Amino acid sequence: MGGHHKPSLSACQSPVVPLGGHVTLKCQFPLPFATFKLFRREGTRSRELQRRRSNSFTIDLVSVAHAGFYACSVALCHSCKWSAHRDPLQIVVTGVLRRPSISAQPSSLVHAGASVTLCCHSQLIFDTFILHREGGTQYSQQHPLTPAREETYRCYGALSHAPQEWSAPSDPMDVVVTGKHEKPHLSALLGTAVWSAGNVILLCGFESSFDMYHLCRAGQACPRRLAAGRSHSGASQAAFPLGPGTPAQEGAYTCYGSFNHSPHEWSVPSDPVHLSVPGEESRTCPVSPIH
> Which of 94, 118, 151 delimits the end of a domain?
94
- Shortest CA distance to 255 belongs to which of 228, 284, 282? 228
| Same domain as 22, residue 87 | yes
Looking at residue 83, its pLDDT comes to: 85
Looking at residue 103, its pLDDT comes to: 92
Q: How far apart are CA 35 and CA 55, in angstroms?
A: 8
Q: Which of 41-45, 256-260, 266-270 has the lowest mean pLDDT?
A: 41-45
Q: What is the pLDDT of residues 69-91, one digit of tens each?
A: 999 999 888 767 888 888 899 99
Mean pLDDT value across residues 263-278: 90
pLDDT band at residue 280 under the 50/70/90 scheme: very low
Looking at residue 260, its pLDDT comes to: 93
Residue 115 falls inside a structural domain? yes
Residue 281 falls inside a structural domain? no
Q: How far is CA 269 from CA 110, 165, 203, in A?
A: 11, 42, 14
| Same domain as 89, residue 57 | yes
| Same domain as 85, residue 118 | no
Looking at residue 183, its pLDDT comes to: 93
Q: How far apart are CA 241 and CA 227, in angstroms?
A: 14
Q: Residues 155, 170: contact at Cβ < 8 Å?
A: yes
Q: Could you check whether the bond before residue 278 is cis, i.e. omega within 30 degrees of 0?
A: no
Question: What per-residue string of b and e applies to 234-266 under the rule 16 or more CB within 10 Å gives b?
Answer: eebbbebebeebeeebeeebbbbbbbeeebebb
Query: Is the pLDDT score of 214 beyond 50?
Result: yes
| Same domain as 200, residue 225 | yes
Supply the DSSP symbol for 281. Answer: G
Residue 149 falls inside a structural domain? yes
Query: Is the pLDDT score of 226 beyond 50?
Result: yes
| Same domain as 9, residue 86 | yes
Q: Residues 132, 155: contact at Cβ < 8 Å?
A: yes
Instruction: Please count the structural domains in the chain.
Output: 3
| Same domain as 254, residue 198 | yes
In the chain, the amino acid numbered 101 is S
Residue 212 falls inside a structural domain? yes
Q: How far apart are CA 268 and CA 91, in angstroms?
A: 43
| Same domain as 172, residue 149 | yes
Supply the DSSP symbol for 78. Answer: T
Q: What is the pLDDT of residues 112-154, one digit of tens each?
A: 888 888 999 999 899 999 999 888 777 877 655 566 567 899 9
CATH of the domain at 236: 2.60.40.10
Q: Residues 257, 184: contact at Cβ < 8 Å?
A: yes
Residue 220 falls inside a structural domain? yes
| Same domain as 162, residue 223 | no
| Same domain as 163, residue 196 | no
Query: Is the pLDDT score of 4 beyond 60?
Result: no
**φ, ψ for residue 283, nearest 5 deg:** -100, 0
Q: Residues 148, 116: contact at Cβ < 8 Å?
A: no
Supply the DSSP symbol for 24. Answer: E
Residues 6+ apart with CB under 8 A from 146: 115, 116, 117, 118
Residue 280 falls inside a structural domain? no
Q: Which of 13-17, 143-147, 197-201, 270-274 has the lowest mean pLDDT?
A: 143-147
Looking at residue 198, its pLDDT comes to: 67
Q: What is the pLDDT of residues 162-213, one digit of tens each?
A: 999 999 999 999 999 999 999 999 998 766 665 555 678 899 999 878 999 9
Return the percentage of the chain with pLDDT > 90, whole number: 53
| Same domain as 218, residue 162 | no
Mean pLDDT value across residues 264-284: 77
Residue 184: domain span: 180-275
Residue 237 falls inside a structural domain? yes
DSSP string over 195-259: -TTSEEEEEEEESS--SEEEEEETTS---EEEEPEE-TTS-EEEEEEEEE--GGG-EEEEEEEEE
Residue 229 falls inside a structural domain? yes
Q: Residues 131, 153: contact at Cβ < 8 Å?
A: yes
Q: How far apart are CA 9 and CA 38, in angstroms?
A: 9
> Which of 79, 94, 109 delimits the end of a domain?
94
In the chain, the amino acid numbered 79 is S
Q: Residues 167, 126: contact at Cβ < 8 Å?
A: yes
pLDDT band at residue 232 under the 50/70/90 scheme: low
